[in-house]
Amino acid sequence: MPGSAADRLARLADGYLITQLLHVAVALGVPAALAAGPRSAADLAQELGAVPGLLHRVLRGLAAEEVLDELPDGRFGLSPVGELLRPGVPDSLQGTVAARGGLYYRPAAGLLAAVRDGGTPFELAEGQPFFDALAAEPTRLAAFRASMADRSAREAGAVVAAYDVSGFASVVDVGGGPGLLLRAVRERAPSADVLLFDRPEVVAGSDLPAVGGDFFEQVPAGSDAYLLSRVLHDWDDDAARRVLTVCRTAMRPDSVLLVVEAVLPERAADDPAAVRMDLHVLVLLPGRERTAAEYAALCEAAGLRLTRDVPTDAGVHVLEVRPA
């Protein structure tokens, strides 16, 4: 019966299919191929290199989920949801889909073993830590970067709208990834010296001023402001405290550190997106999302103090942190 508890549960159990249907469409390039208008499965299969009958069934699955429109003549077009799978369109989720289907999917199957016996599903499945695995394989690094860029594109504007960065003369984005937040800061503080800091393979080829290194060892010293966006959630408390301590060592007494993170709600239903992000982290890394009180305690243990908690329109908070 549609709408019944059984129907809802059956759809939840079929979630594995939906992740893979989206992944197949993106990996084959279906959304870009439909950008100019509806096409038949046979036509798409010939251009994209797929088996027509099987591609047709996948496209029907996506039509059933209203990602594609199925026209009376049998051709498929992009629905408003499907439009967001196109690369480069505003609010595109192409990278998000590629990372979930191609990078997170297999490790997620190790969740049961990890919950029973401990450990990180990604490491159990792949035999090495997440960021080392990315460094070893450029296609996976590219998938993760694209997913970070999708998310950061949504968050960066909201962060600089919520927190005034215009007075900064120098800014280091620690673990800045694709550097979208740093670019958003530079738009608000055009004369600021900006510096992207991340692992060497991540900053290689960046068009921003960039330095490669290890934030567990050292970060560039003496800047007005440090950004730490979606970094602490990757790490357990000991490692997160080490990153904060390294930042504290680099900061001047009047420097400010902006920690950008989701803040866990009291009840899961109050912020499901933050809870889902906590689960992505659970699958991939030893870290977790935290409450504001937990961030305050981490800061205190690193010789820092949390001075403001500024919510943004994108779900993340800007936690303003200063030397204690």
Ligand X SMILES: C[S@@+](CC[C@H](N)C(=O)[O-])C[C@H]1O[C@@H](n2cnc3c(N)ncnc32)[C@H](O)[C@@H]1O
> Known catalytic residues?
233
Beta carbon of residue 70, minimum distance to ligand X (angstroms, whole number): 36
Beta-strand relationship, 193-198 and 170-174: parallel
Rounded Cα gap, residues 309 and 297, in angstroms: 14
Q: Counting Cβ atoms within 10 Å, is residue 57 exposed (0-12), middle (13-18) or buried (19+)? A: exposed
The CB-of-168 to ligand X minimum distance in angstroms stands at 17
Work out whether 163 is an interface residue with ligand X (CB under 6 A): no
Give residue for tokens 């709208």: 161
Contact between 148 and ligand X (CB under 6 A)? yes
> Which position among 181, 194, 225, 232 is part of the footprint of ligand X (CB under 6 A)?
181
Q: Which two tokens stand for residue 268?
A: 């899961």
Site for ligand X contains 132 (CB under 6 A): no
Residues 220-259, mask of contacts with ligand X (x by CB under 6 A): ---------xxx--x-------------------------
To ligand X, the closest distance from the beta carbon of 124 in angstroms equals 20
Cα separation, 93 vs 237, whole angstroms: 31
Q: Three-state SS for 206?
A: coil
Any idea which residue has 């215009």 for tokens? 166
Q: How far is the CB of 188 from ligand X (least distance, A)?
A: 17
Distance from C-alpha of 284 to C-alpha of 130, rounded to nearest angstrom: 6
> What does the alpha-carbon distance between residue 66 and residue 37 come to, in Å, rounded to a whole number?
16
**261 sits near ligand X (criterion: CB under 6 A):** no
Query: Could you say whether residue 215 binds ligand X (CB under 6 A)?
Result: yes
**Segment interacting with ligand X, rule: CB under 6 A, options 17-25, 84-92, 194-202, 247-255:** 194-202
Query: Which positions lie near ligand X, rule CB under 6 A?
Result: 131, 148, 152, 175-177, 181, 198-199, 202, 214-216, 229-231, 234
